[in-house]
Amino acid sequence: MRFDVLTLFPEMIESHCSYSILKRAIEAGVIEVGTVNPRDFTHDRHRKVDDTPYGGGAGMVLMPQPYVDAYESVKKLENSITIMLSPQGEQLSEKVVKELAEFDQIICLCGHYEGFDERIREIIKPREISLGDFVLTGGELPALCVIDAVSRKLEGTLGKIESAEDDSFSDGLLEYPQYTKPREYRGLKVPEVLLNGNHKDINAFRQEQRILRTKLRRPDLLENKDI
C-alpha cells in the first residue's frame, strides 16, 4: 500500500511514521509513505499557499493552484483513491478503514488554516473523511489516523504479538477486558478464570465480557446483531 500525503507540514507525517509499528511496516515494504508539499508548487517569491477569503471573514483559505498542481504531480497507481481530510466528510469507522485497505494507493489531502478553496474539491473530487464532529487545526493528524488504521489491516504490519483478531470492532463488538502481571494490584485481582489455563472457559468468559461491554458502552453496535 502506498500513501501519498499532500501537506504543508511533511515533517509531521514523516516523524510519526518513523516509530514503532509503522516504521517496521515501512522497513518490511508493507507500506510506503510519501509526502508532497503544495508550497513547492507556488510560483511567487513568498511561496504563498493561502489568502484571505472572498466575502470577508476570519482566517486564511488554501489557494487552489498549489494544491491542484501538487496533486497532479503525484504518480497515480491504477487502484488508487484520493481522500480529503475534512470535518465535513463521512466519519472514519472500521467499515471505511476496511474499504480504504482494498486500494493500492491512498492520496491524502491535508488542509490547514480555514481549509480548502472550494474549487480544490470540485476539481479533485476526493472522498471526504472526518475524524469526528470537532475541528482540528490541520489534516495531518486525521491523515495519520487513516494511515495507521489502514496499515493495521494489511498483512505483515502486525506481528502475532499485536494481532488485531480480537480488537474492538473486528466483528462488531468491543474487546474484552485485558490483564497482565501481576495477579493482584492494589487489591484488584485478575479474574480467576484467566489463570486456570482452560481455554474453553477463557473464551467463554471473554465472549461474555465482549457482549456485556458492548451492551453497556455501545448498544448501537448491537442493533443489527443476533445476540
Ligand X SMILES: C[S@@+](CC[C@H](N)C(=O)[O-])C[C@H]1O[C@@H](n2cnc3c(N)ncnc32)[C@H](O)[C@@H]1O
Active site residues: 87, 114, 152, 167
Residues in 35-54 at the binding interface with ligand X, rule: CB under 6 A: none
Residues paired with residue 34 on neighbouring β-strands, in sequence order: 4
3-state helix, strand, coil in the chain (%, to 5): 40, 20, 45
**Which 86-105 residues touch ligand X, going by CB under 6 A?**
86-88
Site track for ligand X across 61-90, x = CB under 6 A: ------------------------xxxx--
Nearest CA-CA partner of 35 in 134, 128, 147: 147
Tell me the residue nearest to ligand X as measured from the CB.
Answer: 111
Q: Quote the least distance from Cβ 112 to ligand X, whole Å.
A: 5
139 binding ligand X? (CB under 6 A): yes
Rounded distance between C-alpha atoms, residue 224 and residue 226, angstroms: 7
Count of residues engaged in binding ligand X, rule: CB under 6 A: 20
Q: How far apart are the C-alpha atoms of 41 and 176, rounded to whole Å?
A: 49
Residue from the set 6, 110, 120, 173 that interacts with ligand X by CB under 6 A: 110
Cis amide bond preceding 182, omega within 30:
yes
Closer of 146 and 158 to ligand X (Cβ) = 146
Q: How far is the CB of 32 from ligand X (least distance, A)?
A: 22
Task: For cell 490483564, name the residue.
Answer: 179
Tell the smallest beta-carbon distance from residue 114 to ligand X (Å). 5
Contact predicate 106/52, CB 8 Å = no
Least spacing, CB of residue 136 vs ligand X, in Å: 4
Q: How far is CA 32 from CA 2, 17, 85, in A?
A: 5, 10, 19
Q: Of 97, 84, 75, 91, which is closest to residue 6 (Cα–Cα)?
A: 84
Q: Binding to ligand X (CB under 6 A): which residues in 117-136?
A: 130-132, 134-136
Q: Report if residue 108 touches ligand X, rule: CB under 6 A.
A: no
Report in angstroms how near the CB of residue 110 gets to ligand X at its nearest.
5
Considering only residues 2-21, where is the footprint of ligand X by CB under 6 A? none
Q: Is 33 in the site for ligand X (CB under 6 A)?
A: no
Instruction: Calculate the dihedral angle through the C-alpha atoms of 130, 136, 138, 139, rounding to the nearest 10 degrees.
Output: -20
Residues that bind ligand X (CB under 6 A): 85-88, 110-112, 114-116, 130-132, 134-139, 142
